[in-house]
């Protein structure tokens, strides 16, 4: 459809002609810029596809990084690491972002002072959407990794002062050359000398009383008893077993720190997109709900929120699409982790992520990794396209469901 031309008074035909000429020039300039951007994007995608498609295989998707061996390297730990970090990011950012948008749009204060504060918060959220992501990375490094130094510093291979969920055991080798565990009550004692019978546990479960014999004495012949016996004076070393919900303060360089930092990155986007969706709900629907006797919260919960869910979901998943491709905040929070051979086992575990792996492969001295970085970019693009497709499907589903109400 043609855009309507700007109308000027008939008494000034020269000015009208100049404005129409400027309008045409500006339109052509915009088209040239848009075409240029699309051409550059097509060239980049074509280059990446040509360089990386040959290495794309099932072994690449399920393999792990191997130093100086690009042919045997894979992306599996990085894929799982990125998914875990994005799940933490979504769990933190979406409830806070959507709740903030509802509060800012539907519960605007009437008091003058509070209204000024409301406008100040709104202005800051708008400005935060344009802050570079590396700034959020530095903020996450201070707030989540080190927690402003309020809880001391975390040292590897040493128990944290404040931790929750860790289970500590002493491990000792029995006469049957198997290992059994002894529950530890004092995490500061690194080595336990066994001088008397004590309750022990098999690694797969089951408690028993640990037998002791002196060195030089005759060993028991029963294999079961042999597996429950150690020499008197044997030493057991402490180790920690961490469930997935293990927490310590500070979080240090963990997937939880990375996910919360990415939540800071996408939070302004989630808030603004949710506000736009809520704002698009007609006021007549609000008035109808209030007119039927609903409280404001009931009106928001039963009318405004269902009507705005398609837009909220689209904005939220597009924000998550940005999060999965962010590299700068992850580099600031977790460093250049690339050699992890397994997926994160708990919230305090470190992990490789796809953007960081691509960054490290692309700057590696071995040219073989350059080709792998192109392959990893293809995988990352496929993941982004999948998330966007899910967003479209969810929006279509939500529109059909709530439109039929």
Q: What are 77-103's pLDDT values in tens digits?
A: 889 989 899 999 999 999 999 999 999
Answer yes or no: are the C-beta atoms of 266 and 85 closer than 8 Å: no
DSSP 199: E
Domain ranges of the chain: 60-150+251-404, 167-241
Instruction: Single out the residue of 273, 272, 298, 271 nearest to residue 286, CA to CA.
Output: 298
3-class SS of residue 75: coil
DSSP3 helix / strand / coil % (the chain, rounded to 5): 60, 10, 30
Joined tokens for residue 172: 């000792």
Q: What are 110-129's pLDDT values in tens digits?
A: 888 889 999 999 889 888 88
In sequence order, what E strands does 174-308 have? Answer: 179-183, 191-193, 198-201, 207-213, 229-231, 235-241, 247-249
Q: Which residue has the tokens 């800012």?
A: 104
Consecutive sets of 10 residues in the chain, 405 residues long: mean pLDDT of each?
Answer: 52 80 92 93 90 86 83 87 90 93 90 90 87 90 89 76 85 89 84 88 86 85 87 88 87 91 92 91 89 89 87 84 85 80 85 88 85 89 84 78 63
pTM higher than 0.75: yes
Q: Which pLDDT score, from 0 to 100, does residue 344 have?
A: 86
Query: Under CATH, domain 60-150+251-404 is a member of which superfamily?
Result: MetI-like (1.10.3720.10)
- Sheet order of strands, 167-173 included: 191-193, 235-241, 167-173, 179-183, 198-201, 207-213, 229-231
DSSP 148: G
Q: Which pLDDT score, from 0 to 100, does residue 1 have?
A: 46
Rg (CA), the chain: 30
Q: Which residue has the tokens 């398609």?
A: 310
Answer yes or no: are the C-beta atoms of 277 and 310 closer than 8 Å: yes
Quote the CA–CA distance of 365 and 360 in Å, as a whole number: 10
Q: Which pLDDT score, from 0 to 100, does residue 402 have?
A: 65
| Cis peptide, bond prior to residue 250, ω within 30 of zero | yes
Angle separating helix axes 305-324 and 76-106, nearest 10 degrees: 140
Quote the CA–CA distance of 249 and 257 in Å, as a whole number: 11
């Amino acid at each position: 459809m043609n855009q309507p031309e700007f109308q000027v008074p008939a008494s000034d035909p020269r000015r009208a002609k100049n404005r129409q000429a400027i309008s045409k020039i500006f339109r052509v300039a915009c088209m040239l810029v848009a075409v240029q951007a699309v051409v550059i994007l097509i060239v980049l995608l074509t280059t990446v596809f040509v360089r990386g498609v040959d290495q794309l295989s099932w072994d690449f998707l399920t393999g792990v990084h191997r130093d100086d061996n690009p042919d045997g390297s894979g992306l599996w730990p990085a894929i799982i690491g990125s998914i875990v970090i994005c799940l933490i990011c979504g769990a933190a950012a979406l409830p806070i972002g959507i709740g903030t948008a509802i509060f800012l749009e539907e519960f605007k204060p009437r008091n003058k002072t509070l209204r000024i504060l409301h406008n100040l918060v709104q202005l800051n959220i708008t400005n935060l959407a344009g802050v570079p992501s590396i700034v959020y990375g530095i903020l996450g490094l201070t707030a989540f990794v080190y927690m402003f130094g309020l809880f001391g510093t975390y040292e590897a291979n040493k128990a944290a002062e404040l931790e929750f969920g860790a289970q500590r055991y002493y491990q000792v080798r029995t006469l049957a050359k198997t290992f059994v565990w002894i529950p530890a009550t004092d995490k500061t004692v690194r080595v336990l000398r066994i001088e008397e019978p004590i309750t022990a546990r098999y690694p797969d479960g089951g408690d028993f009383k640990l037998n002791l014999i002196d060195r030089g004495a005759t060993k028991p012949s029963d294999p079961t008893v042999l597996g429950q016996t150690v020499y008197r004076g044997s030493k057991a070393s402490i180790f920690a077993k961490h469930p997935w919900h293990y927490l310590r303060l500070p979080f240090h360089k963990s997937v939880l720190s990375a996910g919360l930092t990415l939540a800071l990155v996408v939070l302004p986007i989630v808030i603004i997109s949710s506000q736009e969706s809520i704002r698009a709900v007609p006021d007549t629907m609000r008035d109808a709900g209030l007119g039927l006797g609903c409280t404001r919260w009931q009106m928001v919960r039963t009318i405004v929120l269902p009507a705005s869910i398609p837009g909220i979901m689209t904005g939220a998943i597009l924000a998550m699409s940005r999060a999965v491709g962010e590299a700068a905040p992850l580099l600031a929070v977790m460093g250049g982790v690339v050699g992890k051979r397994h997926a994160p086992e708990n919230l305090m575990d470190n992990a490789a992520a796809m953007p960081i792996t691509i960054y490290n492969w692309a700057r590696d001295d071995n040219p073989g990794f350059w080709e792998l970085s192109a392959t990893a970019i293809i995988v990352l693009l496929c993941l982004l396209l999948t998330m966007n497709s899910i967003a479209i499907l969810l929006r279509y589903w939500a529109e059909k469901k709530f439109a039929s109400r």
